[in-house]
Amino acid sequence: MSHLVPALVFFMFTPQPHSQPASLPDAPSAQLQPQAPAPSPPAPSTPPPTTPDPHWFRVEQLPPGKAIAVLERSREYPTSCNMDLGDDTTLTCTQASPYSPPLRLVFPVSNIAAVFTEQVEFGPSNKAVIAGLVIGAGVGAGICNQASGGIIATCSLLGATIGWAAATTNPPGPPPARIHRRLIYRAP
């Protein structure tokens, strides 16, 4: 029933054809037949365009060679590598290998749970230096606990100096490395 309404509206507002002159008896008479409007084609089933994640843009802007760590959705620990290229679909990085050529890793964006920047530091940490100062001062004060206040303060200062020196002196061999990671992207 709903398809008759547009046909009726079309027929009512369509101008009538001109009639044929009477001198032409053999000419067929032309009359317009009302037609139903053609059905519109079905809309294509394309997914709506996805808007880029504004947080992923920070990953795309990282310079090549920047140390990063990529945490995949199914993994517990991130993979450390150096940034090569990041776009809307993949993240590509290079992982150093001690006994073979570097590995080129490609991560689909849909599999990435988080991306971190990495900064490797060598030498003592601030926590180690503070612990050395506090422990040295405590030991120095404990050794001189039977003396007067000035002597205890001097022993405490001397112990803190020894603790600081012990914390900042590098052990033999390569210095220990500490990795600081800063989160720059977390998947929604």
pLDDT means per 10 residues, the chain with 188 residues, are 55 54 50 60 55 78 91 90 90 89 91 90 73 82 79 82 78 71 89
104 and 181 in a single domain? The answer is yes
Start-end of H helices in the chain: 4-13, 56-60, 126-143, 149-168
In a domain, 96, yes or no: yes
Residues 6+ apart with CB under 8 A from 161: 136
Q: What does the pLDDT read at residue 81?
A: 92
Residue-level pLDDT at 3: 55
Give the pLDDT confidence score for residue 40 in this predicted structure. 62
pLDDT at site 21 = 47
Q: Is residue 99 a part of any domain in this protein?
A: yes
- Domain with 133 in it: 126-168
Residues 106 and 182 in one domain: yes
**Is 139 within the bounds of a domain?**
yes
pLDDT number for residue 143:
82
Shared domain check, 182 and 108: yes
How far is residue 49 CA from its own chain's centroid? 19
Evaluate whether residue 88 is within a structural domain: yes
